């Protein structure tokens, strides 16, 4: 019995990265490239062109399902890659709560978890003191999957479709105090 438990725990892994210039962005891109089925992301701020391109490429070339929940401010933030990702066909939603959606995690195929303080931005990679963990513990991943499902189910789609036409009525945005653009 002890041998079996030891074998199971040895299969779990935690990789640690720090920024600036500690390989955080490349670690994220590397995990994205490994995806074969699903990528679920809850990210406060996503403005990294390299990460956005890797997500779009994985979706287009391998038909990996990509779902992204961002803070609602990302819908109108000019540096955000949310508009690009939507135009590339990825599913993007915005958090509807009154506080910030300050999570920073991704689940790849239900097998690896990317988390930590690292925002998916060039500034985080090159200037900020941030951290990134890649975890393969099934129990931890399951808890994050539950949280992602909650965030996904309580978030709303972009107020514009990929062609820039309003997709969410203005009354909905004003009623729920959302950052919907016209």
Active-site amino acid positions = 102, 104, 109
What is the DSSP annotation of the chain?
Answer: -HHHHHHHHHT--EEEEEESSSSHHHHHHHHHHH-SSEEEEEES-B--HHHHHHHHHHHHHH--EEEEEE-GGGGT-TT-SHHHHHHTT-EEEEE-SSS----EEEEETTTEEEESS--BSHHHHHTS-EEEEEE--HHHHHHHHHHHHHHHHTEEE-SB-TTS-B-S-HHHHHHTT-----
Strand 91-95 relative to strand 65-70, pairing: parallel
């Amino acid at each position: 019995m002890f041998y079996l438990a030891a074998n199971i725990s040895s299969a779990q892994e935690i990789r640690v990265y720090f920024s600036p210039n500690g390989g955080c962005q490349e670690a994220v891109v590397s995990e994205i490239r490994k995806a074969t089925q699903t990528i679920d992301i809850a990210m406060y701020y996503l403005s990294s062109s390299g990460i956005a391109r890797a997500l779009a490429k994985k979706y287009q070339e391998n038909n990996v399902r990509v779902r992204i929940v961002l803070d609602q401010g990302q819908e109108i933030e000019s540096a955000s890659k949310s508009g690009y990702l939507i135009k590339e066909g990825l599913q993007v939603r915005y958090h509807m709560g009154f506080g910030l959606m300050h999570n920073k995690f991704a689940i790849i195929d239900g097998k690896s978890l990317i988390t930590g303080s690292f925002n998916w931005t060039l500034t985080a990679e090159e200037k900020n003191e941030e951290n990134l963990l890649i975890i393969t513990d099934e129990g931890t991943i399951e808890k994050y999957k539950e949280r992602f499902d909650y965030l996904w189910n309580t978030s709303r789609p972009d107020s514009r479709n990929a062609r820039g036409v309003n997709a969410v009525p203005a009354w909905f945005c004003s009623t729920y105090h959302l950052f919907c653009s016209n």
